[in-house]
Structure 1
Amino acid sequence: MGKGHVRLADVAKAAGVSQGTASNVFSRPDVVREEVRERVLKVARELGYGGPDIKGRLLRAGRVNAIGVAAVEPLTYFFDDPWARSLMTAIGEVCDASGTGIAVVSAMNEERLAWNINSALVDGFILLCVEGGERLVELTRQRQLPFIALALGIEDETIPAIGIDNVAGGAAAARHLLELGHRDIAILSIGDVDGLVGMVAPERVDPEMEATPRDRMHGYWRALAEYGIPREAVPIQGTLHDRPSTLTAMEALFSSANPPTAILAMSDKVALFAMQWLAERGLKVPEDVSLIGFDGVPEAATSLPRLTTVAQPFAEIARRSVTAILENALPENHEALDLELVVRDSTAAPRLP
């Protein structure tokens, strides 16, 4: 008999006990006499039996008390990206409070995607950044477990989703700078489209940008229009949401004849890269340049100066999404949560000429 095919029934027969007694040795050892328990365990070792199939047992019970978190990103994304890290921290805190486990699932490898989703031992899934991840949604649906999408980038109303009002958040950020008196404002956008690196014309925003940066852009434009500033008057520098492209964008903005007195960054991550670039060139924030980010990650509160930002309600997003999975109480429509403008030290009125 091959060791990989040994069953509990084989162990029971070889040890001269009933299958129920053999099962109790592994699941309820306290109810089995010590000499019987030792004999069954000895036979199990000799036959190469490692114990019952935990996955099968849990699935038969109908609940495993764990949630899967999946993204169309490499696994390092969950640890390297400040937004993903903040969200995972919030989800972890909610799960800790209820004694719920977390399984992190990478959907980066298309060939392994179906296996990763189907083999995850979870009660449901939280999907991060669904734009471009239609296959991830499809496979999750096929698994027939509850799932909820965060940072949804597609318009399918049949997908249960919790997100944020990016348009309102963008408008709040721009309005803050405008109320301080800034009129020479520039935008640092985010995304992963190579063609949107460098100067981006306004007419490219709607057809080419992903949903999140597109909505934040429209929020900026809404507030700028309230002050009579046309979108064409505000330069947009596209970044790949990383340090090299952000530094290139800053070089372009400040080598122009009319450099900005304030910058709208579409994420705290990009804002902090921009802040470093300014410091290295002797430009002070906010005395020379005001800077506002978006997301409200912990690093924004500890930078020097502390970063003004539009903060996402990470704790509430986590609470709602985890509860939706555990209680199978998915929202019927897309829910958009409010954001908070957190004014700190990186924004001030422009320097007088």
Structure 2
Amino acid sequence: MAKGTIRLADVAKAAGVSQGTASNVFSRPDVVREEVREHVLETAKRLGYAGPSLTGRLLRAGKVNAIGVAAVEPLAYFFDDPWARALLAAVSQVCDASGTGLALVSAKDRQKLDWNIKSALVDGFILLCVEGGEKLVQLTRERQLPFVALALNDDDPSIASISVDNLGGAAIAARHLAELGHRRFGVLATELSDDHVGPVGIAEIERAIYSTSRDRALGYWQALEAFGIRREDVPIYETINDKPSVEAGLELLFSVPEPPTAILAMSDNIALLAINWLRARGLSVPQDVSVIGFDGVPEGGMVEPGLTTMAQPFAEIARRAVKAVLEDAVPTEREMIEVTLVVRGSTAPPR
């Protein structure tokens, strides 16, 4: 008999015991006499039977005590992107405290993502919806497991989500710089629409398909208008949150006779890339140019100067998200959490 085809019934028959007794040897060994237990185990070893399927047992129980964290990205995204890394660390801490397992579910390809979500052995999902959120929501709904979306780029109220106050947080960031005395600004935006990198105007912002980026731009504008700065006078460059597109945006923003004295970056990753670019061009931060980010990732506090940013409460977001999935307490409406201005050395009054 091939080892892969050995079943519990085969072990019971070979050992001369009932299937119930054989099952108890593996699942409830304390109720089986020692000599019988040892005989069944020896028989199982001889036949090459390793024990009942843990997967099958968990599925029959209806709970696996594990959460899936999903994204429409390659697996490396969870470790390369500062925001995803910080959020995953916070979720991991919450799961550790409750003894809950964690599974990373990702794929850029739709077919692979479909398979990964459908085959994941989890009780529910936390969806990182920075990009491709609609795909994640659709596939997860088909699994009929509880889920909660984070950083959802969609205004659909029927999707259970936990998000931060992007509009209010962006307004605080812009106000901070304006109160320092800055009047010339440049915005480095996260994605507003698919397959586009480059300068965008008011119309592109207003019809953006990604609400996170749109709301942050609107927040900047609202705060700056109170200081007499028109929307038309705030250049915005759409990036894809990576080094080439961020550097292309900076090249454009600083190619004019009167370049910005302050950069509003829609992510800490963009802000940190901007600081490196400015330094390489001989520009001092914050003496020549102030830079403010958005997220509050740990890396922002490790650079010199430290990055001023709008910090998301990662621990609170993680706590709510894990509770929503494990306790089947998915929010019935969109939950919004405030962000906090963290002032460090990357912002100062202009020269």
The alignment's TM-score, normalised by the length of structure 1, stands at 0.94
Distance in 2, matches of 1:225 and 1:28, equals 70
| Cα shift at 1:137 | 1.6
| Cα shift at 1:130 | 6.0
Q: In percent, how many aligned pairs have the same letter?
A: 64
* 3-state DSSP of counterpart to 2:207: helix
Aligned residue in 1 for 2:326 = 326
Mapping for residues 245-284 of structure 1, pairs under 5 Å: 245-284=245-284
Aligned residue in 1 for 2:225 = 225
> Is 1:118 aligned to 2:118, yes or no?
yes
* 3-state DSSP of counterpart to 2:64: coil
Q: Which amino acid aligns with 1:253?
A: L
| Cα shift at 1:40 | 2.3
| Cα shift at 1:193 | 5.2
| Contact 2:133–2:153 under 8 Å retained in 1 | no
Aligned residue in 2 for 1:50 = 50
Aligned residue in 1 for 2:129 = 129
| Cα shift at 1:73 | 1.1
Show CA shifts across 1:249-302 (max 9, x none).
112222211111110011000100110111112211111111100000000111
| Contact 2:154–2:210 under 8 Å retained in 1 | no
| Contact 1:130–1:149 under 8 Å retained in 2 | no
Distance in 2, matches of 1:317 and 1:89, equals 12
Aligned residue in 2 for 1:142 = 142
> Is 1:292 aligned to 2:289, yes or no?
no
Q: Which amino acid aligns with 1:142?
A: E
Distance in 2, matches of 1:16 and 1:136, equals 51
| Contact 1:130–1:154 under 8 Å retained in 2 | no
* 3-state DSSP of counterpart to 2:347: coil
Distance in 2, matches of 1:167 and 1:233, equals 19
| Cα shift at 1:35 | 4.2
* 3-state DSSP of counterpart to 1:294: strand
* 3-state DSSP of counterpart to 1:237: strand
Q: Say which is worse superposed, 311-320 or 49-58, in terms of deviation.
A: 49-58
| Cα shift at 1:29 | 3.5
**CA 1:155 to 1:131, structure 2 compared with 1: closer, same or farther past 3 Å?**
farther
**CA 1:71 to 1:23, structure 2 compared with 1: closer, same or farther past 3 Å?**
same
| Cα shift at 1:30 | 4.5
Distance in 2, matches of 1:194 and 1:330, equals 29
**CA 1:130 to 1:141, structure 2 compared with 1: closer, same or farther past 3 Å?**
farther
* 3-state DSSP of counterpart to 2:288: coil
Q: Which amino acid aligns with 1:334?
A: R
Distance in 2, matches of 1:332 and 1:151, equals 17
| Cα shift at 1:109 | 2.7
* 3-state DSSP of counterpart to 2:176: helix
Show CA shifts across 1:91-145 (max 9, x none).
0111111111111111423223333222211111111116533232222222221
Aligned residue in 2 for 1:203 = 203
Alignment: residue pair count: 351
| Contact 2:133–2:152 under 8 Å retained in 1 | no
Distance in 2, matches of 1:180 and 1:197, equals 30
**CA 1:157 to 1:72, structure 2 compared with 1: closer, same or farther past 3 Å?**
same
| Cα shift at 1:171 | 0.5
Distance in 2, matches of 1:162 and 1:138, equals 17
Any stretches of 5+ residues in structure 2 without a counterpart? none
**Cα-Cα RMSD:** 1.8
* 3-state DSSP of counterpart to 2:301: helix
Q: Say which is worse superposed, 70-79 or 56-65, in terms of deviation.
A: 56-65
> Is 1:166 aligned to 2:166, yes or no?
yes
Q: Which amino acid aligns with 1:327?
A: E
Q: Say which is worse superposed, 61-70 or 303-312, in terms of deviation.
A: 61-70
Aligned residue in 1 for 2:214 = 214
Aligned residue in 2 for 1:26 = 26
Q: Say which is worse superposed, 54-63 or 271-280, in terms of deviation.
A: 54-63
Distance in 2, matches of 1:6 and 1:301, equals 56
Aligned residue in 2 for 1:16 = 16
* 3-state DSSP of counterpart to 2:294: coil
Distance in 2, matches of 1:130 and 1:138, equals 15
Aligned residue in 1 for 2:41 = 41
**CA 1:172 to 1:114, structure 2 compared with 1: closer, same or farther past 3 Å?**
same
Distance in 2, matches of 1:192 and 1:55, equals 41
Q: Which amino acid aligns with 1:19?
A: Q
| Contact 2:173–2:309 under 8 Å retained in 1 | yes
**CA 1:227 to 1:202, structure 2 compared with 1: closer, same or farther past 3 Å?**
same
Aligned residue in 1 for 2:190 = 190
Distance in 2, matches of 1:212 and 1:142, equals 25
**CA 1:80 to 1:200, structure 2 compared with 1: closer, same or farther past 3 Å?**
same
Distance in 2, matches of 1:333 and 1:146, equals 14
| Cα shift at 1:49 | 2.4
Q: Which amino acid aligns with 1:62?
A: G
* 3-state DSSP of counterpart to 1:10: helix
Any stretches of 5+ residues in structure 1 without a counterpart? none
